[in-house]
Structure 1
Amino acid sequence: MDIRKIQHILEQLADVNEQLVSLSDDIWLGIDHRDNESIIEGSQFIQDYNLATSQLSKAAATVELQLLTYFKNDIESVQPVIEHGNDDTIKNQRMIKELDRSKAYSLNDNFTYKRPYGFVLKGIAYTNITTWKAVYLKVLHALYKESPAAFSALVTDKRFISKRENPLFTEDQKKLRVAQSLPAGFYTEVNMSANSIKDALLQVLAYFSIDEKEMKIYLREDRDA
């Protein structure tokens, strides 16, 4: 079995899922909010669409888990290893220099239908990233490593619970559409669009008193336009 094919399939699964979720945001913005009939029709469509994409996201997550479990001995080949400059100053400077050849984006930009390649957080570069989910989880892992006690309190902080009582972090994975375990012993929602992820990151950075300017995003050229 060619492991590269498995890696490519996983990347495609994640990419398609993120695009479908982003499309929901795009369709909602395209509804004429001054037209009641358009709002009613659009709202019903969005509800049905979100249900269908949620089911697809859960199926994709199950397939991913099955593949990673079956190919556990080749886990580093199946899942791209994210490069970082945490432990090597010279390497980190080189990575930042390479990233800066492309345009840097802030978390206030619109990332609909765009794919990440890397990011810099508090002066540390991360590359070889293929999905927004990977960006989100890598940031969370970095913050956990830096402040484990503060990170553990995320699960009880009310700012991460929506008005409809939907948590971003929880110890009960059944409360999430697609749950991802975190090193702190609880779960986070990962079935989010690119823009929902960047909004979540803005919240998390604010929680840790990190200026949003401390994070820069770099996009893949094939999705820059």
Structure 2
Amino acid sequence: MKIIARIRSDFPEKFGIPRQSGLIEELKARIVFEPEYRNPDALRGLEGYSHLWLIWQFSEAIRESWSPTVRPPRLGGNQRVGVFATRSPFRPNPIGLSSVKILSIDFHTEEGPVIMVAGADLMDQTPIYDIKPYLPHVDSHPEARGGFAYEVKDYGLNVDFPEEWKRLVPAGKQEALTQILEQDPRPSYQQDPERVYGMSFAGCEVKFRVEGQKLKVIQVIPLQ
């Protein structure tokens, strides 16, 4: 398999990345092709679609061995289910699948054609193996069942984000960060109200505490 592109996102590390694609449309990212695939003809006709499938590598979850069961965060990290009944990154083949929205396509940049997308759940520099158009008449199944991922209560926290810290987040990124925090980025097994969590996003280190259903941002440190 050949890497055709890499994502450029605001997540330099795994912590804080949404658990699924499309959850936070405010999140924007760029798809930058590897030099040998920077041919505009390869994207001819793509402007006629609104969404894409991305097939990519869980580059931070590559292992020599695999387990037939995993502990999905959706079940609190305490219950094992079959790996093929989850979207866990710890799989026999570390391949991810994400649906993203096309915001724009710029055919004339110094990096060749670049696709701007919304809703990506990929860490910065994640390798992309393929890009395919999303076809609503065959890819959408409103009657489909969602298994335990649908039955378990949705994540959702009330975020207290003081203005003194919010203004340190780059312009245009504040709403996306707030929505990320609402989704509760903590590992499901960590519930200590005194613990200070930290995540990197858009060139900032964001520190917060969670008590019950309330998340309070206690510090934002610009890293640039």
The structure with more strand, counted as a fraction of residues: 2
| Structure with more helix by fraction | 1
User: Which range, TM-score by smaller chain?
Assistant: under 0.3
Q: TM-score, normalised by structure 2?
A: 0.21
